[in-house]
Chain A
Amino acid sequence: METTTSDPLVEITFAKEIKESINKSKLFRFQSESLKNKINQANDDELLIIKSTIDSPKKIISVDFYNRTFLESVL
């Protein structure tokens, strides 16, 4: 499968980890402020699906919860 620079990069992480990364790194940017709020309001032990793109890997374009509701919607 060929990839393009606009293909999504998908990462699964605990909210605690991404919160720490955002606090310590100035590299992160967000498609909208609501995405940053969504991460900050998540419980530390919740799993999040963070999407960015290959050409802009630290610009977060979507945040979803990896939970039963998500699994039921995609499986």
Chain B
Amino acid sequence: MTSTKFQVRLFLDKYFIYDLLKHPKKVDYFEKITRIHTKSLDYPFLHNHIFDSDFLELSKFKKNISGAILGICHPIQIPLALNGHDEISKVVKYCINLATKKPYKILILTNKEKEPKYENNEHYTEDESVKDAISVVSGDLALEMINLISPI
């Protein structure tokens, strides 16, 4: 059970997981993301996050899938302070807070449609330091990033 110090934490939204479930190599990628999530030296089983509302929706989408998702990310209750924000702002603001903790880099995994919504979000564009700390990826680039973070 060798632990690894990963250079980035992952935030997964439901759109990324819905996309991933259609991918022919979805099992390979689940295994890679599981490795990141469970073998993190700093945050074992807490490395990758998802909002619990997304997790609950996904749990109803397919029977027994909740166990598989719990292996790749930890469901987080959306902080009350984010009430009133739209879903994209909630993720961005949550990730800004997450990026104040080591390793200080967050990768938001989403789908092609939502990626520009994150990148154009007012909280994402308000400060260059946010873009330095948080990247948004989808599709093939998201999978390439997973390959880079967990090459085995």
Interface residues of A (CB under 8 A from B): 1, 10-14, 16, 44-45, 47, 49, 64, 66, 68, 70-75
Contact = CB atoms under 8 A, between A and B. Distances in A.
Q: Chain B contact residues: over half helix, strand or loop, or mixed?
A: helix
Contacts of A1: 56, 59-60
A10 B67 contact: yes
- Interface hub of A11, A64, A74 (most chain B Cβ within 10 A): A74
A71 B60 contact: no
Contacts of A64: 67
B148 interface: no
B68 A71 contact: yes
A20 to B, nearest CB: 12
B7 to A, nearest CB: 23
A11 B21 CA distance: 21
B26 A12 contact: no
Nearest to B56: A1
Nearest to B2: A45
B1 to A, nearest CB: 5
B11 interface: no
B27 interface: yes
Nearest to A49: B67
Contacts of A66: 34, 67-68, 71
B38 interface: yes
A71 B64 CA distance: 10
Nearest to B60: A1
B86 to A, nearest CB: 21
Interface string B38-63: 10000001000000000010011011
A14 B38 contact: yes
Contact of A47 (B26, B34, B65, B66): B34
A75 B30 contact: yes
Given A12-B70, A75-B65, A47 B60 contact: no
B38 A74 contact: no
